[in-house]
Structure 1
Amino acid sequence: MAIVVETGLRRHGTKRAAGSLVSQLRHAGGICTIAGSFTFLFALVIGLIR
């Protein structure tokens, strides 16, 4: 019985870790998208000035 409970807790912990990992990846993806947009606009402005 104790082994089953431990396995259940481990699975639950794994789900939490995977969920937070996905959340972090989404957050990082959003930051990269914003940074890429600013970089593109900055390059576009420099190209127009020149």
Structure 2
Amino acid sequence: MPEPLRGNLSGYWSRRIDQKNRLVYRVAGGGRSLCLEIVQCRTHYGDR
């Protein structure tokens, strides 16, 4: 289930891939010109 983010990432969404990894993204544009911008596709909150 996607989760809306807050603070500096307000307007972005987070979706967990597995227990450690997640995608952070936003949907931009409108109508027939939608764009998926992925800003992070790795660890949760900087875990290594």
Shorter-chain TM-score category?
under 0.3
Q: TM-score, normalised by structure 1?
A: 0.20
Greater RCO structure (CA 8 Å; 6+ sep): 2
Point out the structure with the larger strand share.
2
